[in-house]
Structure formats: structure tokens, C-alpha cells
Structure 1
Amino acid sequence: MALTSGIVLYAVLWFLTFLMAIPIRLQTQGDVGEVVPGTHAGAPEHHNLKLKAKLTTLVAGVIWVVLFWIITTGVITVRDFDFNNVMSPLPVSDETGE
């Protein structure tokens, strides 16, 4: 995996994880009972974004390490998902390595 690919993979994982973490334990103005005039009752009152960003960084890092290991070792390849046999077979090498 190239450096750019690793950075892009981490960025996608981070944003995906962050967008899943935002609604967890979110308290809205309607939940608290103090709706500011001119705002929706579903507007966030307590969102804890700094804590969620820190946890997201850790979780995305762990997921990235697992995916990095899978990709670099070749445990799972693209050919594992070729259910219709669209891809050509891998070339077979002889004992000399050619």
C-alpha cells in the first residue's frame, strides 16, 4: 500500500467513524427542555464533539491497522470477491520462480 493510499483510507475511515459517533448520547434542546426561540427542538444542546473526535481517532486507527494488515499480507484479495469469474486466472509460475 502506498503512502497516499494509506492516508486516504485513514481519512475515509475517520470520517465514517465520526459520522457514526456524532449521534451517540446526543442531547437535543428538546431533551433538555430549553428550546431557544427560533431554533428547532432537535438542535443539539450537548454534543461533546472533542471527546468524540478523540475516540474516533483511536477507533479509526485500530480499524486502519487491521485493514492495512489484511491488504499488505494478501489474506483477502479482489479475486476473493469475483463470484462470476470475470477476472482472468492468475498466471502459474514454475518451480524456478519464472
Structure 2
Amino acid sequence: MQWTSIVAIYVLFWVVSAFVLLPFGVRTADETGAETIPGQAESAPVNFRPGRIAMRATILSALLTTLYVVNYAYGWIEAEDLIFWGPTVQ
């Protein structure tokens, strides 16, 4: 596998990981007891930290990319293993 393919897969995993991790650890004003600004949505986060989310996404995507590349090299799970219905090949 070429290194550019690995970088592209890493970027894809990073974006997906960032979106998956967005709701974790976020508290609203009602949960923290903070005062809301007039016009502010009740679901708006009080302690949003994009740097922390980026760091978590970086670690998770590095782990997922490593697993993907190692699986690609050793062939632990192949496309035929993911067919759960339909005709079986014997």
C-alpha cells in the first residue's frame, strides 16, 4: 500500500472520528448551572473544547488506521468474510 493511500485513509478516519466524538463530554447550561444568554439555544454547549476533540480524534484515527493497514497486509478479514446473506460459495 502506498503512503499516500495511508494518509488518505487516516484523514477519512479522522473526520469520521471527530464527528463521532463531538457529543461526548459536552455539558449544557442546565447541566452545569450556568446562566444562559438571551437567544442562546438550550442545547448549546458550555464547555466546548475543540482541541480536546481533535486530540481524541487523532488518537482514535491513528489506532483505526493502524488496524486497517495491518489487516490489509495480513488479510485477517477479507471481503468474502463480510457476506452474511446470499448464495454461499462452497
TM range (shorter): 0.7 to 0.9
TM-score by length of 2: 0.78
TM-score by length of 1: 0.72
In the alignment, structure 1 segments of 5+ residues that lack a partner are: 88-98
Structure 1 position 5, deviation (Å): 2.9
Secondary structure of 1:45's counterpart equals coil
- Which protein has the larger Cα radius of gyration, Structure 1 or Structure 2? 1
- Return closer, same or farther for 1:26/1:82 CA change in 2, 3 Å cut-off: closer
RMSD: 2.3
Question: What percent identity do the matched residue pairs reach?
Answer: 21
Where do residues 1-98 of structure 1 align in structure 2 (5 Å cutoff)? 1-32=1-32, 33-83=34-84, 84-85=86-87
CA contact (8 A) 1:22 1:47 kept: no
Higher RCO (CA 8 Å, separation ≥ 6 residues) = 2
Higher fraction of helix: 2
Higher fraction of strand: 1
